[in-house]
Structure formats: structure tokens, C-alpha cells
């Protein structure tokens, strides 16, 4: 009976991220439109876009290899598993032992590796440009992400997300300069990894500015739907990660009962809505930077993560 309950809660977690990911993207787009006084599309438009793409025929280049065909499914699966491992409304779920920050970084890195290879597979100039720029961004974003992981591990004593969330929700944490630096570094990495302004703008199709869109320009039909769905899940993952580590209020402890889970779920939805609104506000007030300035942006995230980690080595009270 206990095992069935564990499986049920873990299944709800996996379905929740799957259902909420397109809704979050639609909410951010709607907020951006309203902030510039446009009506904007419905917040449910991403669901309609995915259904439309799933119904369309797949068009493949003659020289596309098996790698090009399997990459959409591999990237979607890796990102979905990573998103499902991040505690959203409750900690200590069935797959809690695998919910490790380093494992999540590895899953996201694997998805990016396959996507970059697929971008170059058909040999188009746009695919090559997008893949090279994506790898350039990853070369700075991944070390910054790992320094954030080291910083959090030094404070919480673990890289397991349930342990981190429970520790950060306790009264032992307090205000720390190192955690503030780590949070800013994670937000900057999240903007870069999700192809958001100021690093990238997926809505544009200009050769000089495209990064993510250039890599997936050759995809169509259900393949493109899987890639788009993976991008929606990735945005949800990073917001859930920020909420889990830095805003773990009202998150339910496993086994505390349905009422705690319900409160945790409502709190999670409120956190998602707040994060979506602030993301839309930031993107409306900020312009996209030129590509050669991205290393400076991510270099700042790298230095913040490094400084936060070094401060903790100097004194645990920082």
C-alpha cells in the first residue's frame, strides 16, 4: 500500500511538470504581450501549437542520418526526466535518491550534446552556426552551473535536492552573501540555457542573432514538437530548481498527508506564476545583447559562483 502511494505521488510529479510546462510558456508570452499593451495569444496557445505540429508530416533532408531522427526523442526524454527529479510540491519522492544536482546537470548536458550534433548533421550553414554558438554558451554556462552546485553543497552538505530543500527551509540557513551570489549566477545561467533575452531570442530568425532556432531550423512535424516541448520543460525545470533551492516555503515533506501536498501544489503554482511574471517583465525591459557579449555575461555568472564558493571556504558564516 505504501509502495502504491509512493508510485502515485511520483507519477503526479511527472505528469504535473508535463502538463504545466506549455502553460508556463503561454503565461510568459501573454504577460509580455500585456506589458506592451497588446492582446496577445491565449495562454493555451503552446498546447495548440504542439498538437498542430504533431499532426503535420515530417520532412527530412536526403542526407539526414539516424542521429537526426532520434535526437528529438532523446532530448525530450532527458529533459523530462531531469524536470521530474526536481522537487516541486513535495520532497522525498520515490526517485528521491536519483534527484541529484550533478545528475540533472549531466542530463541537460547530454540533451544539448545530441542537439548540437543534430544541428550539424544535415550540413547546412544555419545548423553549423547554431551548434557552434550553443556549444560556446555551454562552455561557460556549465562551469557556472557546477560552481553553483558546489556552493549549495557546501551550505547544505549534500547535492540531493530533497535534502537541500529541507535544509534551506529550516532556520539554520539565515542570510548569506554566498547564497545571494549563487542565486544570481543560477538566474543568469537559466536565462542563457533557456535561450531567453538578453542572451537569445527564439522569436527572431535573423542570421546574426539566432542560436537555438538555427540548430532546429531543419526540423518539422512531430520532431519539432518534441524539441519545442523539451524547451518548455527546460524553462519549467530551471524555475522549479530556483524555487526548490531558494524559495522552498510550503513545500510538503513526504508522508505528511494529502493536505500538505495540496498546500505544496498551490504554493508551487504561485511561485511559477510569480517567476513567469518577473521573467516577462525583465524581458520586456531588456534588449538582446550582441553575440560576442554573451561570454562577458556568462563570465559574470561564473565569477559570482566562484566567489560564493570561495567565501564559504573562508568562513561557513558567509
- pLDDT tens digits for 102-153? 999 999 999 999 999 998 998 888 888 888 888 999 998 999 999 999 999 9
Helix (H, G, I), strand (E, B) or coil at 100: strand
The pTM of this model reads: 0.94
Q: How confident is the model over 195-239, as pLDDT tens digits?
A: 898 888 766 666 666 777 778 888 999 999 999 999 999 999 999
- Ranges of H-type helices in the chain: 2-35, 45-55, 66-85, 101-121, 125-156, 161-168, 177-193, 212-215, 221-246, 258-285, 294-314
- Average pLDDT over the chain reads 89
Under 8 Å CB-to-CB from 80, ≥6 apart: which residues? Answer: 14, 17, 18, 230, 233
% of the chain exceeding 90 in pLDDT: 55
Q: Is 8 exposed, middle or buried (0-12, 13-18, 19+ CB in 10 A)?
A: exposed
**112 vs 28, 142, 215, 309, CA distance in Å?**
23, 11, 11, 26
Q: How confident is the model over 256-304, as pLDDT tens digits?
A: 778 888 999 999 999 999 999 999 999 999 888 888 888 999 999 999 9
Under 8 Å CB-to-CB from 244, ≥6 apart: which residues? Answer: 86, 87, 88, 161, 164, 165, 251
Amino acid at each position: 500500500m505504501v509502495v502504491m502511494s509512493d508510485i502515485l505521488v511520483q507519477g503526479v510529479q511527472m505528469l504535473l511538470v508535463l502538463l504545466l510546462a506549455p502553460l508556463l510558456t503561454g503565461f510568459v508570452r501573454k504577460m509580455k504581450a500585456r506589458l506592451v499593451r497588446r492582446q496577445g495569444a491565449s495562454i493555451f496557445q503552446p498546447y495548440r501549437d504542439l498538437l498542430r505540429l504533431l499532426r503535420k508530416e515530417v520532412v527530412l533532408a536526403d542526407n539526414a542520418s539516424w542521429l537526426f531522427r532520434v535526437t528529438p526523442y532523446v532530448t525530450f526524454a532527458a529533459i523530462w526526466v531531469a524536470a521530474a527529479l526536481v522537487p516541486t510540491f513535495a520532497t522525498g519522492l520515490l526517485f528521491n535518491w536519483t534527484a541529484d544536482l550533478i545528475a540533472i546537470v549531466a542530463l541537460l548536458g547530454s540533451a544539448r550534446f545530441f542537439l548540437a550534433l543534430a544541428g550539424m548533421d544535415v550540413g547546412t550553414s544555419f545548423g553549423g552556426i547554431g551548434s557552434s554558438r550553443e556549444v560556446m554558451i555551454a562552455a561557460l554556462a556549465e562551469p557556472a552551473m557546477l560552481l553553483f552546485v558546489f556552493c549549495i553543497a557546501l551550505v547544505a552538505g549534500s547535492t540531493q535536492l530533497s535534502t537541500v530543500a529541507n535544509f534551506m527551509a529550516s532556520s539554520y540557513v539565515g542570510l548569506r552573501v554566498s547564497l545571494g551570489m549563487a542565486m544570481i549566477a543560477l538566474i543568469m545561467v537559466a536565462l542563457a540555457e533557456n535561450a531567453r533575452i538578453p542572451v537569445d531570442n527564439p522569436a527572431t530568425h535573423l542570421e546574426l542573432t539566432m542560436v537555438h532556432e538555427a540548430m532546429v531550423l531543419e526540423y518539422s512535424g512531430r520532431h519539432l514538437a518534441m524539441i519545442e516541448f523539451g524547451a518548455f520543460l527546460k524553462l519549467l525545470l530551471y524555475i522549479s530548481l530556483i524555487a526548490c533551492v531558494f524559495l522552498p516555503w510550503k513545500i510538503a515533506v513526504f508522508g505528511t498527508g494529502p493536505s500538505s501536498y495540496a498546500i505544496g501544489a498551490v504554493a508551487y503554482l504561485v511561485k511559477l506564476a510569480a517567476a513567469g511574471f518577473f521573467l516577462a517583465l525583465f524581458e520586456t525591459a531588456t534588449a538582446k545583447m550582441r553575440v560576442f557579449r554573451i561570454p562577458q555575461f556568462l563570465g559574470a555568472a561564473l565569477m559570482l559562483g566562484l566567489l560564493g564558493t570561495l567565501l564559504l571556504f573562508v568562513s561557513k558564516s558567509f
